[in-house]
């Protein structure tokens, strides 16, 4: 069964989102686009981020990808949703570490800063990198999630 990915973008990430959607579908991912149906310069990134983050939080085995101008606004908004570990990523190394060490479940990318090929590489690394599951990383993630309690990751 293909991995399910929730995708969202505001107006500043719209064009990149459309390209990413094509790449992911061609690679066999089940892509669900939760962006507004039309490009609209008045899209507010928090609304899109919340839609994606809430779906990812509700379905543990899924991941999300968000795009806005910098990737930062989407990341801030997504991280307001319990169970989300969103990472704003600008290079392949950060993509790998965000998954390996932090078990990020939402990738936030800049629609205005990186070229298409860079975004494609970053996304591929992020999707293919597995969480290490090391005890020290689990301990730290648990502190993020529950301030010391235990959660499933």
Digitized pLDDT (tens) for each residue of the chain, 153 residues in all: 568 999 999 999 998 999 999 999 999 999 999 998 777 777 789 999 999 999 999 998 899 999 999 999 999 999 999 999 999 999 999 999 999 998 999 999 999 999 999 999 999 999 999 987 678 777 777 777 755 444 555
Reply yes or no on whether 68 is catalytic.
Answer: yes
Sequence-ordered strand ranges (E) for the chain: 4-9, 30-33, 63-68, 86-88, 106-110
- Order the strands of the 86-88 sheet from edge to edge: 30-33, 4-9, 63-68, 106-110, 86-88
Confidence at residue 148, expressed as pLDDT on a 0 to 100 scale:
45
Q: Convert the pLDDT of each residue in 72-86 to its tens digit.
A: 999 999 999 999 999
Q: Which residues are annotated as a binding site for D-ribulose 5-phosphate?
A: 10-11, 69-73, 102, 112, 136, 140
Confidence at residue 149, expressed as pLDDT on a 0 to 100 scale:
47
What structural domains and CATH numbers belong to the chain? 4-146 (3.40.1400.10)
Q: Which residue in 5, 24, 68, 78 is the catalytic one?
A: 68
Bridge partners, residue 64, by sequence: 6, 106
Look at the pTM and tell me if it is higher than 0.85. Answer: yes
């Amino acid at each position: 069964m293909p991995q399910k990915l929730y995708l969202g973008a505001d107006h500043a990430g719209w064009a990149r989102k459309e390209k990413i959607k094509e790449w992911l579908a061609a690679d066999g991912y089940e892509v669900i686009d939760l962006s507004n149906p039309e490009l609209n310069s008045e899209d507010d990134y928090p609304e899109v981020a919340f839609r994606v983050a809430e779906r990812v939080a509700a379905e543990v085995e899924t991941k999300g990808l968000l795009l806005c101008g910098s990737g930062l606004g989407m990341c801030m908004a997504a991280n307001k949703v319990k169970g989300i570990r969103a990472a704003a990523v600008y290079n392949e190394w950060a993509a790998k570490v965000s998954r390996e060490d932090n078990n990020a479940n939402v990738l936030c990318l800049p629609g205005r800063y990186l070229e298409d090929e860079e975004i494609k590489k970053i996304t591929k690394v992020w999707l293919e990198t597995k969480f290490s599951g090391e005890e020290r990383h689990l301990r730290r993630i648990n502190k993020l999630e529950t301030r010391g309690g235990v959660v499933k990751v």
